[in-house]
Structure 1
């Protein structure tokens, strides 16, 4: 017998021979006769084709799998005429010889068939072997020259074409401008389009339309490099470029509430957008650390199923769980410790504003310095299969870091005052088990309180502010692969002023979108948004005793490429 035949038959044969009794020396001629009779061609009707034909063999038997393999793979096992196998009965050498002979005949048949197929397809196999050898050589060359064997690169490019229109009868008179600049001395001409501040009366709506109402075509390009050294850690780096200029309405003009979620401004240059590293500590803890990391990157959970970062949603303010103060996305040097176990998660982190924490002069900033504009965050939440919730507290060293608010509230926070902010947030979500007419729902609410370092701060500065939002999202909207969504809320608006009456500072933000899944990697998303009163309390009375109004409406068509 050839060696490979011996190796092929030996394991299966051992599975049958193992229960042989060491003392079974007597020849059981009757047993051999019975076995041989059901193994012969004359008794083909008695041949076993499935292990289930044996009424005394059960899955719990230790040799069940070995016996099953011999029956189903080689068809060389027969039983007794009464449908039994008698697995616990000791075999004689004659019985073993009969079984081995039957199996060897089947192995010989299989081997002859393989030889015939190999000869028949000899040319084709030679071609395949040559191609495999070529691929192995190319793979070896790539492995020898690539910069990492553990790095995965993903990319996203977005094309945005859109325009804005402004309405209302708001006039910023010189008296109003003087009133604002006298109360907020550090105004730096912000929130006033060119030609308004320090000039004669000017209609804000007309000026905003002239400055920011043009149709624009912009791009945002991102590369994500994720590297793992152990299979459990992750080094994340992102490279980005975009041409949403400083005067672009979709990059925060004339108020920052119109900033798109995907909109960067670097001219024609590429830059490192983020760089951080996370690794596990035991089974339940994870540590994040990085010289340029976002608060949102280090969160143990993001309590929302409203899409974020995929190119579908519109305004960035509506991706912050209804609490822009607490979920402020501050970015810079940071560190975090997260705990996750059985759906529960807890996170503790600190991140320092990138602009103030990268210098070496402690007077200008630095980590944990008086001027760091740092943010400390604590979050606790729970995630189930279809729902989740979270509570969050953030301490902001400088309230000017609140990313989105009505113009009045933002202007109050932007002053160079010694103050800090306590930001609280509650958020929850629910999603159906299967996509259909019932949407996934996300909701959140935020509350902020200002801590003034001294009592000689002028009246009318914001001491309390709030925010909220509700968002719905449909997967497979009308057509499988397409999506739709809508969100409404109020960005951070003042609800209490220091030493003054409650202001009229509210503003509603709406957005709608529908994403067409053109291919697996291309999505076309028409969308629109509406800001009802983005200036908030700065919407002073108009001329002739009429209340001033100002609103913004934007439309956008976005094409997103993922690769």
Structure 2
């Protein structure tokens, strides 16, 4: 109320304080008496016969009359706006304003008394908000960085079935069979994966990304980490051992900077970055909003191209600027030198963009939007041979013919193998506009070709893979998802020497993602691998003749994810 009074009284007060230009002799007493406020309140500017819409102060005077009624004129219906004001006239104007202020004050007092309880509650809330804002400002982490975290618990086990040999040692070649596998990798385990991500932006459009990670999927001992057979590896599995401590060591596993160039281009550079995370389009919706279980299904079944190569990366992508919700073309390219090589200075054993970088070059052409999309991708693998395919049968991925960059020749010298791979993938997805009985569909098919100077008869030179993923949204409850995927991970289709491979294997995965809260999800899942050893399964036949061996792996787990 004080501010309101000041605004009303200020013009009149200034008139009272201003020097009086007219002397007593010049004072027109009759004019002053004429200015005495009339008994009728001025309610419209039209009551003044000498005020016109063309006057420069017309609107201001009109607002004073309509809002406050704080205007006094002469009884003869004139305002005399161009005439100098005397102190007596100022006193009359001030009196009219004060009368009006008194009326407003009484009304406000009545309203304040009527809403006294509500005003007290609002005051308490405002005071509480001010205290909380002050506390947040005093304890805020950063004005440019946001911290996000994800904790994943995995409880479960795997078990193998099929033939067994007397040899109890389970090796990559399948020696020992089901009994040996169950002894080495069949126990129930409780594992975790912890991620803390720091997202920093300096312009609002760029991003500096750093992530800390720790886990206890101990290497060479844990089936969910891909030991025994690599296809049992989970997407979340990590072992943060440092060579001394086997696990539970926090390490930096991502560090890159992404920034826009113009409206449609984005550039990425990172000291620790991944090729699959540097794409304009991810051509699958199988895991979108749901859960990621097996590493192979999370890579759309085409792990020969989308192989999660991580290391020193430079990349860029272009994405067509279109209306929100529309399909757009995109082109993505990136180069990654393996983390064991790209950060060294010795060109004979590594370096960035050298012949020993063990690098991957990935290019993708995509067209997609919220409902459907497709992509064609190509990856060149330097010195990775079958190991660069990430997931597949043990024969296609880990054969003794796979010598990444060098091998020992017949003279005992270590020489370059000249091995490389060319992988191609075609992926597509479609999802209904509304959740219902019809699921989303994600499809992937890939083919790989390997070349090496270290050729051996019977080694794989071509391989393929494919997958189909179905996902139903809002199953039983809104926010819960049911996913089912099946296909064949990378398996040999052509061998050196022309022999016919017998390397087939099928994978089945089923999960139900129960969203307990916005931050907690519980996902029971099962998977089955029909023949993960591929052609090595024949080694389980004691006489070594034919391909009659059997070996399969079944897994079950409960994955609980906390996001904050």
What CA deviation, in whole Å up to 9, does each residue of 1:48-67 have, x standing for no partner?
Answer: xxxxxxxxxxxxxxxxxxxx
Alignment of structure 1 residues 506-517 onto 2, 5 Å: 506-517=504-515
- 2:153: which partner in 1? 159
Query: Would you say 1:489 and 2:450 are equivalent positions?
Result: no
Alignment of structure 1 residues 247-266 onto 2, 5 Å: 247-266=221-240
Structure 1 unaligned residues grouped into runs of 5+:
8-38, 41-75, 78-88, 178-188, 197-201
Query: Would you say 1:191 and 2:192 are equivalent positions?
Result: no
Query: Would you say 1:329 and 2:308 are equivalent positions?
Result: yes
Deviation at 1:488, TM superposition (A): 0.6
Contact 1:158–1:311, Cα closer than 8 Å, also in 2? no
- 1:522: which partner in 2? 520
- 2:269: which partner in 1? 289
Task: From the superposition, tell whether residues 234 and 540 of structure 1 become closer, same or farther in structure 2 (CA, over 3 Å).
Answer: same
Task: Return the match for 1:104 from 68, 80, 101.
Answer: 68
Deviation at 1:111, TM superposition (A): 7.1
Contact 1:311–1:560, Cα closer than 8 Å, also in 2? no
Alignment of structure 1 residues 458-473 onto 2, 5 Å: 458-473=456-471
Task: From the superposition, tell whether residues 95 and 496 of structure 1 become closer, same or farther in structure 2 (CA, over 3 Å).
Answer: closer
Task: From the superposition, tell whether residues 129 and 257 of structure 1 become closer, same or farther in structure 2 (CA, over 3 Å).
Answer: closer
Query: Would you say 1:409 and 2:396 are equivalent positions?
Result: yes
Rounded Cα–Cα distance in structure 2 between residues aligned with 1:460 and 1:110: 99
- 2:178: which partner in 1? 205
Rounded Cα–Cα distance in structure 2 between residues aligned with 1:482 and 1:311: 8
Query: Would you say 1:214 and 2:187 are equivalent positions?
Result: yes
- 1:237: which partner in 2? 210
Rounded Cα–Cα distance in structure 2 between residues aligned with 1:481 and 1:125: 36
How many residues are matched? Answer: 460
Rounded Cα–Cα distance in structure 1 between residues aligned with 2:372 and 2:198: 30
Contact 2:164–2:180, Cα closer than 8 Å, also in 1? no
- 1:269: which partner in 2? 249
- TM-score for both structures, normalised by structure 2: 0.75
Task: From the superposition, tell whether residues 118 and 190 of structure 1 become closer, same or farther in structure 2 (CA, over 3 Å).
Answer: farther
Structure 2 unaligned residues grouped into runs of 5+:
11-41, 46-51, 71-99, 241-246, 323-327, 405-416
Rounded Cα–Cα distance in structure 2 between residues aligned with 1:111 and 1:507: 87
Rounded Cα–Cα distance in structure 2 between residues aligned with 1:539 and 1:290: 41
Alignment of structure 1 residues 55-74 onto 2, 5 Å: none
- 1:389: which partner in 2? 374
Rounded Cα–Cα distance in structure 2 between residues aligned with 1:94 and 1:504: 97
Contact 1:170–1:548, Cα closer than 8 Å, also in 2? no
- The residue matched to 1:539 in structure 2 has which SS? helix
Deviation at 1:100, TM superposition (A): 5.4
What CA deviation, in whole Å up to 9, does each residue of 1:49-107 have, x standing for no partner?
Answer: xxxxxxxxxxxxxxxxxxxxxxxxxxx99xxxxxxxxxxx9699999978853433699
Rounded Cα–Cα distance in structure 1 between residues aligned with 2:122 and 2:439: 54
- 2:440: which partner in 1? 440
Please report the RMSD computed on the Cα atoms of aligned residues, expressed in angstroms: 3.2
Rounded Cα–Cα distance in structure 2 between residues aligned with 1:530 and 1:112: 81
Deviation at 1:538, TM superposition (A): 0.8
- The residue matched to 1:537 in structure 2 has which SS? helix
Contact 2:290–2:481, Cα closer than 8 Å, also in 1? no
Judge which range, 498-507 or 463-472, deviates more. Answer: 498-507
- 1:348: which partner in 2? 333
Rounded Cα–Cα distance in structure 1 between residues aligned with 2:229 and 2:124: 66
Based on CA coordinates, which of the two structures has the bigger radius of gyration?
Answer: 2
- TM-score for both structures, normalised by structure 1: 0.75
